[in-house]
Chains A and B, each alone.
Chain A
Amino acid sequence: MNQNPHQEIRQVLGRVKRDEFIGRATELQKLVSHAMRAKGFEGAGRPGRARGLLMLLAPLAGVSELLRQAYDELFNQREVVPIYFALPQTETTAVSAAIEFLNTFLLQYIAYRRGEPSLCRLSLTLNDLVQLAPAGDLPWIEELIEAYNLQRFGKDDRELVRFCLTAPNRVPASNGRPFVMFDAVQLANYLDSAVPLATEIVRALLFSNLPFALAGLRREVLDAVACAGGNFGSLELMRLESLKDDEARDLVVSAASRHQVAINEETRDLMVQQFEGSPFFITAMLQAAHERNLTLDSYLACERLYVDELMGGRLNRYFSSVLEHLAPETETRAAVIRLLCEAVPTGSRTSSLEAWRKRLNLDSIEAEQLLRALHIQELINWDGQTVDATGSSSLWKDYLKSRFRLDALREPRALVVADVMADALKRAPQTIARHYRKSAGLRLRGLLDKFNFQLVPKRLFDSAEFASSYKGATAEEIAAGLDADTELLRLPQVFHTASGVSFSPELRQFGEESSVVAHAFEGGNYTDANEIVWLVAKVDSKLEADRNVTATWLDRLESLARQSGFSRAQTWLIANEGFSAEATELLRERNAYGSSQQQFELLSDRLTDAAAALQQSVEANEFTLILPMGGDNELLAATTVEQLARRLNFSPEAINQIKTAVVEACINAAEHSLSPDQKIYQRFRVESDKLVITISSRGIVPANIQGHIEERQREQLRHEDNGEDTEQRRGWGLKLIKTLMDEVEFERVDEGTSLRMTKYLRKAS
């Protein structure tokens, strides 16, 4: 894709300008790239390339504008013929939808061929389209319409649907290559259709030679592809969730500016959280504010508009439409509302299909269809047996509750409005507070996830020692001190984190995210002996946490460990200002770590940097060499590294040291693993002040060697090779490497070994 992002893109179908289209930049790029990549396809089944892109949506994640923006970009680039079709919400038969598709396809195709985007917005008949068709397209379009007229008056609806949906295949290759973007978010509305539209759409797309993108609700699209016998291996997948917080914030700001609605930072954040990052709800709210000429600069203004919209505006229309499609019969709909409403406050997470069937007064097939439809919309989770209605959004719950009180309980509307509004206002600060706590908790979990065997200064886990070393020091002095710190702690690799509440409900009182249980492995391999659980809690204390508070938290976490049967656990408390002297003493007695918020931040920065450095290394200044084991191939590695070291102006003596270390590492790699591919993988990363070399090999490391490696990892390669006979002398390789290089470390790998060696460039003084 060569499009300059700053270049003006002519709006064809897009409803907002490109610079106002917020939050889906990566997805847009991927979609356009998919179309462009696919332009080179000549026939189906070119190996290694997916022709189809499945766009799997979370409900309300929004995809239509993304597809329209992609359409505009492709229309402007003029490499493929973009076709965008959204299943109509109002036409709910497969035949009418398919005919609409045929019409849209021809309209957009002719608009593209004529270079007249305005045609796309017209409503034209097939006869009009024939009149507009360029001369070069007239023969095949006339033939298509003639064939369509024959099909149209036939008796086989399914044939007609197929005919219409496969129309893009009739475009001669020399006239352009259509790229169909099928927006099937409304597919659930076609469930009752006599022709299985979902299957026909998927079949038409999958079994044509053309590239395509199919977007729809994730639960539905996956089912449809499976039912149509689609091969997922030949499809690319794109998952679309609600917007991330920062993207949603940008969207609120952009939409507010577009609609000239005054907001402030507090209401911006409230809208992001309350509408759960849904582009649809956020945009609907700001459009409504614009129409009513409202400002949204207070929680009160926001919640008042929200309740108005929920009771009678866009939100109400959206939810009502979903419900009406799910349960067209009034009685069934009322029963669904009652059942869903009752499921939430009782806290009963599940009920059976049979219970629902009886309450809905439906036969088994009807009940299953209804539950499936609710499941697709993610209003419930249904596994075929049990129904869980507790996980849906708070907006949907508000809607259900108000409908239930108005329709079933016949309560006065004014009372319901007042109550919903009062609830919304009371909930607003809680929503924001929960968001802040969650963000802090997620940071903690994110940090644990980054541990990944990294080495960090041990001082970061002891607040008293840290304070005695760095009290009053500047940030630069602390950073330099930590860089030079030789007492290091090897962090474990965390493979699962969860809130402490998931293990001990009594921790709920301190907030869902105040404690984290992290399952991890220490050492080089995944064994029982290396398994450990880190129990981490953020202690709420304005000043240094005292002995009592510390003892209470240690008791809680140790009790959690006992109850959960964790055989090895490491506790770690984090308090804003660290811990008092008595508390520190207690932490040490109980082998627990204690950090201040400052230490937490420093640790966070160091781990982030390591990850970024790793990423950077992959991108730039890295050379890879793969050599077969055996022969004198290590000499090739030595020659390569010599050239690289020369570029960095290492001294001849240092170059020789590096070469010897590389030779030794290659010998070790070849000798120490039962390698299936008999290859030595080498990465040389050139940085301004150092050369980092990683030598790895696949295979099963023999147990005695593995033990050796683990011992080395634990004890930082201490010197121990003093044996005298030849066999013992054969262990000299590692000792030599350690002596010749500045840093030597075994990286954890799933298979085989990976030795990382670093040599620093020392300028001649």
Chain B
Amino acid sequence: MRESIGSNVRSHCVGTTAVVYASDYLNKLTGERIEHECKKQLDSGARALVIDFSDTELVNSIGISILLGIIDIAEKSGALVVFSDVNDKIVQLFDMLGLTLHVVLAKDEQEALSGLSSLLTQTRSIGH
């Protein structure tokens, strides 16, 4: 497992899954940093992204639109995206803007990783 803090975005990789940590306030600036980090991870061969919201207290609409952009990019790369540890208030916002239709929510990072692990294994075996 390697960890990096590029442009103040904390992330680490578990196999082919990249875990990226969102900050306490997800706005344009922090959203773009996450987007940059996710792109970098996808370019480096990540097959799945976990965006962890355990520190996140507030999200604005620009931040959400960037998250949708990340989902689009991941889809185009054939990668999976899971959001972990999203508090109820933010889930409510994601619901309002239809974000939850496009992404899987996991209780925490561990659940996200284990879910992805089995999913990626299945995908790989189907692929073989």
The residues of A with any CB-CB pair to B shorter than 8 Å are 632, 634-635, 638, 652-653, 656, 659-660, 663-664, 667, 726, 729-730, 732-733, 735-736, 739-740
Interface residues of B in 71-128 (CB under 8 A from A): 88-89, 92-93, 96-97
Stretch from B3-11, B13-21, B43-51, B55-63 contacting the other chain: B55-63
Are A660 and B69 interface neighbours, CB within 8 A?
Answer: no
Are A732 and B25 interface neighbours, CB within 8 A?
Answer: no
Secondary structure at chain B's binding surface: helix, strand, loop or mixed? Answer: helix
**B-side contacts of A660, CB under 8 Å:** 58-60, 93
**A-side contacts of B60, CB under 8 Å:** 634, 660, 663-664, 667, 733
- A664/B61 contact (C-beta < 8 A), A732-B97, A736-B93 known: yes
**A-B interface, 9 closest residue pairs, ranked by CB to CB distance from nearest:** A729-B65, A732-B61, A656-B89, A733-B61, A663-B60, A726-B69, A736-B61, A739-B96, A726-B65
- A659/B58 contact (C-beta < 8 A), A729-B65, A732-B65 known: yes
Give the number of residues in B that approach A within 8 Å (Cβ atoms).
18
**B-side contacts of A667, CB under 8 Å:** 60-62
Are A736 and B97 interface neighbours, CB within 8 A?
Answer: yes
User: Chain B: which residue is nearest A739 at the CB level?
Assistant: B96
Are B68 and A736 interface neighbours, CB within 8 A?
Answer: no
Partner of A635, one of B58, B59, B69: B58
A162 to B64, CA, bound (A): 77
| B27 CB–A CB distance under 8 Å | yes
B56: min CB distance to chain A, Å: 12
**B-side contacts of A638, CB under 8 Å:** 58
The residues of B with any CB-CB pair to A shorter than 8 Å are 25, 27, 58-62, 64-66, 68-69, 88-89, 92-93, 96-97
Cβ contacts A to B, 8 pairs, < 8 Å: A634-B60, A652-B89, A653-B88, A660-B93, A663-B58, A667-B62, A729-B64, A740-B96
Are B96 and A729 interface neighbours, CB within 8 A?
Answer: no
- A635/B25 contact (C-beta < 8 A), A664-B60, A732-B61, A736-B97 known: yes
A733: min CB distance to chain B, Å: 5
- A736/B96 contact (C-beta < 8 A), A660-B60, A729-B65 known: yes
Secondary structure at chain A's binding surface: helix, strand, loop or mixed? Answer: helix
B34: min CB distance to chain A, Å: 14
Are A632 and B27 interface neighbours, CB within 8 A?
Answer: yes
User: Chain A: which residue is nearest B27 at the CB level?
Assistant: A632
**B-side contacts of A632, CB under 8 Å:** 25, 27
B74: min CB distance to chain A, Å: 15
B102: min CB distance to chain A, Å: 11
User: Chain B: which residue is nearest A732 at the CB level?
Assistant: B61
**B-side contacts of A735, CB under 8 Å:** 97
User: Chain B: which residue is nearest A638 at the CB level?
Assistant: B58
For the complex with contacts A730-B62, A736-B96, 10 further pairs of A-B residues with Cβ separation under 8 Å are A632-B27, A634-B60, A653-B92, A660-B93, A667-B62, A726-B68, A732-B64, A732-B97, A733-B61, A739-B96
A312: min CB distance to chain B, Å: 83
A593 to B56, CA, bound (A): 54
B98: min CB distance to chain A, Å: 9
